[in-house]
């Protein structure tokens, strides 16, 4: 543990950009903490601008390396989709079961449940075929080369990962669409509430104006009656 801390401190102290990184980190963290307490829109705007500044700083400073990193990342993603290792395959199976159980337990639409059941069933059937082929051919699952040297196992694993990837894309797309729909419905309801409140305010103003006019008319009538009474008294005298 001490060796770990020493190495970490050496890396920080020996870096020529340490002072710049620390200053930027302190400024960014301080600005974010101050704006967390600020519930106004300007606080959110400052936070977003600060985040954009950090991202642009990283992109500009390390653009050449980030391009290589991005290319390698894309290649690794495709490799994991079409040629996943044992750990990736096990994670896929675990996530598949989790999504299936979650969709059954939680309140989701019937269409979502049907889609999840279909994908779950197909993926699990492919897994059974894969296990059968591994046992039948006595394949060492810890050897990447031996697993993918068998065409049957290779096709089954690739089919599983492609189906799983497509399934996840569907789930994420559905979540995004639902969020957008909920937000639009919320905005419509807020607009309707604003319109109703405006109409109520206008109605109250009209009622107040009408009452004022009626009161003024009544006062005029009363004043006229008083004037007529005075005229009658004068004539009587």
Across 11-20, 131-140, 225-234, which has the greatest mean pLDDT? 131-140
Gap between the Cα atoms of 177 and 171, Å rounded: 10
pLDDT of residue 231: 47
The residue ranking higher by pLDDT, 228 or 55, is 55
pLDDT per residue over 87-141, tens digit each?
888 999 999 999 999 888 887 788 888 888 999 999 999 999 999 988 888 888 8
pLDDT score for 234: 43
Over the stretch 143-155, which tens digit does the pLDDT of each residue have? 888 888 888 888 8
Confidence band of 235 (pLDDT split at 50, 70, 90): very low
Query: Which one of 59-63, 107-111, 158-162 scores highest in mean pLDDT?
Result: 158-162
CB atoms < 10 A from the CB of 182, how many? 10
C-alpha torsion sign, points 135, 141, 143, 148: positive
Q: Which residues of 45-55 are buried (b: 16+ CB within 10 A; e: fewer)?
A: ebbeebeeeee
Answer with the residue of higher pLDDT: 4 or 121. 121
Confidence (pTM):
0.60
């Amino acid at each position: 543990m001490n060796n770990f801390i020493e190495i970490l401190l050496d890396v920080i102290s020996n870096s020529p950009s340490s002072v710049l990184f620390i200053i930027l980190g302190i400024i960014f963290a301080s600005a974010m903490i101050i704006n967390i307490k600020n519930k106004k829109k300007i606080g959110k705007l400052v936070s977003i601008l600060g985040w954009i500044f950090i991202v642009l700083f990283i992109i500009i400073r390390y653009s050449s390396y980030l391009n290589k990193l991005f290319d390698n990342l894309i290649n690794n993603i495709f490799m994991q989709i079409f040629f996943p290792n044992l750990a990736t395959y096990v994670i896929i199976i675990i996530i598949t079961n989790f999504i299936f159980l979650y969709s059954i337990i939680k309140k989701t639409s019937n269409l979502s449940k049907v889609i999840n059941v279909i994908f779950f069933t197909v993926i699990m059937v492919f897994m059974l075929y894969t296990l059968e082929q591994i046992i039948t051919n006595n394949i060492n699952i810890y050897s990447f080369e031996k697993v993918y040297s068998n065409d049957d196992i290779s096709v089954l694993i690739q089919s599983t990962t492609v189906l799983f990837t497509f399934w996840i894309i569907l789930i994420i797309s559905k979540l995004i669409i639902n969020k957008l729909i909920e937000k639009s419905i919320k905005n419509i309801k807020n607009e309707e509430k604003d319109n109703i409140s405006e109409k109520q305010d206008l109605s109250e103003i009209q009622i107040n104006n009408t009452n004022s006019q009626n009161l003024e008319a009544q006062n005029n009538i009363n004043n006229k009656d008083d004037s007529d009474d005075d005229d009658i008294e004068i004539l009587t005298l």
